[in-house]
Amino acid sequence: MPSEAKDQFVSAMESALAGLRERSQLRSCSQLEGINFCSNDYLGLAEDPRLKHAVLESVERAARIGGTGSRLLSGHDPAWNELEEEFATFAGTEAAVYFANGYAANLGLLSAVLDKDDLVFSDALNHASLIDGIRLSGARRVIYAHLDLSALEKVLRARENESCRKVIVTESVFSMDGDVADLSAIQGLALRYGASLVVDEAHATAVHGPSGAGIVADAGLTKEVLAVVHTCGKALASAGGFVCGSKVLRDFLINHARTLIFSTAMPAYFAEQIRAALQLAKTMNRERELLLENSRSLAAFLRADGWDLSGTASQVVPIIVGSNKDALAVAHFLRERGFAIRAIRPPTVPVGSARLRLSLTARISATELQRLRECLKAWQASRMALSSAAGGA
């Protein structure tokens, strides 16, 4: 007989799910067909036969396939140290340490480095993994308006006399808005007010900066910042995240980051997948240029058609629709016309800013972008027809 205690949890979950359904916020896992506008495989490497071949070769050579334990126990393989050195060279930092995913990298980094006496200045639109890492650390948190340098300066100035350690935490390319932080200006404020800087480059890794080394590298700040996080699950078509910084930071994380210490290592053959993806990505300047060129022209013509694209300046192009229902409706309209596009709703984005998040990849052609534009125009026309029919009724 089911226990009453368990029933309480089950009915609470059922009513939470019913609430989500009512607000058009219920999600499920499903695969979409069509021209893929919801993939973070920005360079198109996930389907590259050269990468597949490299993975097959490394599996073939591997003495073992399993992770077998934490890297601090049986799970370590020299392949990880070699890859970390290679990645640090790519990122322009002294050292790097690998985590099984970007979420674990941010959580491990922030919860290890910060403590409850520290003060963190966090961009209002930072990714959940940054927010959760800060929360877990127990540090005091000040949220500043998204990308607003004067708001950041105001809160830094207000806490100027506090003698504690201070850190500014920001993404470089923001995951849901596609806008880009002015890292030189943020680092300038950090210097002026005695703070250090942590930057999450998840959507810039292998896409922005010299040979894809990121926006911190592009701004010449690799030696200034406390830590840069690069992820491998997006443009590097693999999985994992590197925290890049000083050798001291690396040694500290190996000894304190709980998401590394208390988690099974990724199998060593997987290091070869990341290495192969990195080697390929470094050579893909032409693909990067084309991707960013396509992103700029998509943004220009959608803006000309009257769409609100927030402040996008990258391959992530959001179309802000507003209500959850409208975002679902336009996503459905486009899916029926052959596009794999998803509506992004709260809590991933702020309430009232539901959107389509278009992520462009090197596999999407200019002709497909034009087709998308035409379909979005058809949606606008159908909406206008509906509202004039309603007005006339």
Ligand X SMILES: Cc1ncc(COP(=O)(O)O)c(C=O)c1O
Residues tagged active-site = 40, 127, 171, 175, 200, 203, 234
> In the β-sheet with 227-231, what is the strand arrangement from edge to edge?
95-99, 241-245, 227-231, 196-200, 166-171, 119-123, 140-144
Which is nearer to ligand X, 342 or 375 (by Cβ)? 342
- Check if the beta carbon of residue 164 is closer than 8 Å to that of residue 150: no
Residues in the chain: 393
Q: Is 175 in the site for ligand X (CB under 6 A)?
A: yes
Residue 186: name the closest of 175, 176, 199 by CA: 199
Nearer to ligand X, 171 or 287 (CB): 171
CA dist., res. 340 & res. 359, Å (int): 11
Closest separation between CB of residue 337 and ligand X, Å? 27
- Residue 241 binds ligand X (CB under 6 A): yes
The interface region with ligand X, picked from 100-108, 315-323, 336-344, 350-358 by CB under 6 A, is: 100-108
Query: Nearest distance from residue 106's CB to ligand X, in Å?
Result: 6
Q: Looking at 127, 342, 355, 357, which residue binds ligand X (CB under 6 A)?
A: 127
In the bound complex, which residue of the shown chain has the CB atom lying closest to ligand X? 102
Under the criterion CB under 6 A, does residue 101 sit at the interface with ligand X? Answer: yes
Please report whether residue 129 would count as binding ligand X according to CB under 6 A: yes
Task: Please give the backbone phi and psi of residue 135, each rounded to the nearest 5 degrees, phi first.
Answer: -60, -45
In the complex, minimum distance from the CB of residue 93 to ligand X, in angstroms, rounded to a whole number: 18
Parallel, antiparallel or unpaired: strands 339-340 and 227-231: unpaired
Q: Is 200 in the site for ligand X (CB under 6 A)?
A: yes
User: Cβ of residue 299: shortest distance to ligand X, in angstroms?
Assistant: 19
Which residue's CB is nearer to ligand X, number 44 or number 102? 102
Q: Cβ 101 to ligand X, closest distance in Å?
A: 4
Give the contact letters, 210-239, x = binds to ligand X (CB under 6 A), - = no: ---------------------x-x------
By CB under 6 A, is residue 171 in contact with ligand X?
yes
- Is residue 263 close enough to count as binding ligand X by CB under 6 A? no
Residue with tokens 């495989």: 41
- In the bound state with ligand X, the residue whose beta carbon lies nearer, of 127 and 166, is 127
Decide if residue 118 touches ligand X (CB under 6 A). no
With CB under 6 A as the contact rule, which of the stretches 99-107, 284-292, 342-350, 351-359 interacts with ligand X? 99-107
Task: Assess 315 for contact with ligand X (CB under 6 A).
Answer: no
* Least distance to ligand X, CB of residue 128, Å: 8
Beta bridge partners of 167: 120, 196
Of positions 25, 106, 315, 359, contacts ligand X by CB under 6 A: 106
Q: Which stretch binds ligand X (CB under 6 A): 54-62, 95-103, 109-117, 269-277?
A: 95-103
Instruction: Pick between residue 179 and residue 200 the one whose CB is nearest to ligand X.
Output: 200
User: Can you give the binding site for ligand X, defined by CB under 6 A?
Assistant: 101-103, 106, 127, 129, 171, 175, 200, 202, 231, 233, 241
